Amino acid sequence: MSRSSSYLRGPFTRFGLAVAAVVCLLDQASKVYLLFVHDLAANPIRLGPFFDFVLTRNTGISYGLFATEGALGQWILLAVKAGAVALLWVWLARATDRLTALSLGLIVGGALGNAIDRLAYGWVADFVYFHIWTATWRFDWYVFNLADVAIVAGVIGLLYESLAGERAAKAP
């Protein structure tokens, strides 16, 4: 078996890649709808007392960290993301259980969804805005998207597996 095909033949690799594809497709479909069909920039959506859909153009990474305005910075962020996806894909090819494959698929799919935005627009479209406002207090969470939710869920799955899962290191 060639080295290149071995990265597609792990026992759970196809499952993880299918998860990644579904996440990426759902993320992109939501963004296309909200950007071009609904025109979220002109028409924010109030979903309830705690959630709104608003358009934020994120030129950085998670939560707007390392925001860049120039093309060079965007290409550097894209290259870092591509490297991370490649490493996660290798990890996925070696996954020996379904939770690891699911978690890595969520992370890869989310990373790819955001990378497509960066290539297409030069920024990542974030739109879910969580907030709590009272008469005396205000909490505003970062604006995020479905890809970000998938990445966080994937990280939680990997943390669960490493701390409490069957293969977690147990004290003697």
Catalytic residues: 126, 148
Residue 171, both tokens: 């004290």
Whether 35 and 45 have beta carbons less than 8 Å apart is answered as no
- Rounded Cα–Cα distance for residues 78 and 87 (Å): 14
Angle formed at CA 75 by CA 60 and CA 151, multiple of 5 degrees: 50
User: Please, are residues 89 and 74 in contact by the beta-carbon 8 Å criterion?
Assistant: no
**8 in Cβ contact with 89 (< 8 Å):** no
